[in-house]
């Protein structure tokens, strides 16, 4: 099933999330470790997906230049407003693509990893 990030069609293969607290540790010489909690970071989402076509890839790459959050929507009513922090991609070597039948079978396919931050 196709997912969409800012109306750009992507085919999600994996969706991972992570979060962490901000905790510095102080280790005095004469006593036990002191830990202070200063808060937490917003969750980070990593999405590995297939993108069909240069135009879809270029549209995704264009989203890295602004500080605007866009919706990632997919199956099971998944919908989150997320900022694109990082994108990495590589072109898959294949003869014909059959992922997106609305495009030519010679259209290039890319494996893309998006790192997305939740908007506060």
What residue segments make up the domains of the chain, in order of their start?
Answer: 3-118
Query: How high does pLDDT run on average in the chain?
Result: 91
CATH number of 3-118: 2.40.30.200
62 against 34, higher pLDDT: 62
**Helices and strands (H and E) in the chain: how many:** 1, 10
pTM tops 0.85, yes or no: no
Structure tokens at 50: 């297939």
- Please give the average per-residue pLDDT across 44-72, as a whole number: 94
pLDDT for the residue numbered 75: 83
- Please give the average per-residue pLDDT across 33-54, as a whole number: 90
Half-sphere exposure of 62 (CA within 13 A, CB side): 9
Residue 11 to residue 100: CA distance in whole angstroms: 9
């Amino acid at each position: 099933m196709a997912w969409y990030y800012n109306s750009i069609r992507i085919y999600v293969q994996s969706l991972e999330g992570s979060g962490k607290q901000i905790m510095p540790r102080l280790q005095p010489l004469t006593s036990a470790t002191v830990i202070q909690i200063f808060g937490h970071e917003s969750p980070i989402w990593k999405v590995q997906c297939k993108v069909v076509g240069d135009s879809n890839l270029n549209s995704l790459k264009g989203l890295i230049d602004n500080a605007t959050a866009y919706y990632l929507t997919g199956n099971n009513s998944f919908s989150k407003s997320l900022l694109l922090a990082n994108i990495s991609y590589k072109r898959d070597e294949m003869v014909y693509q059959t992922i997106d039948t609305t495009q030519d079978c010679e259209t290039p396919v890319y494996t893309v990893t998006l790192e997305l931050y939740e908007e506060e």
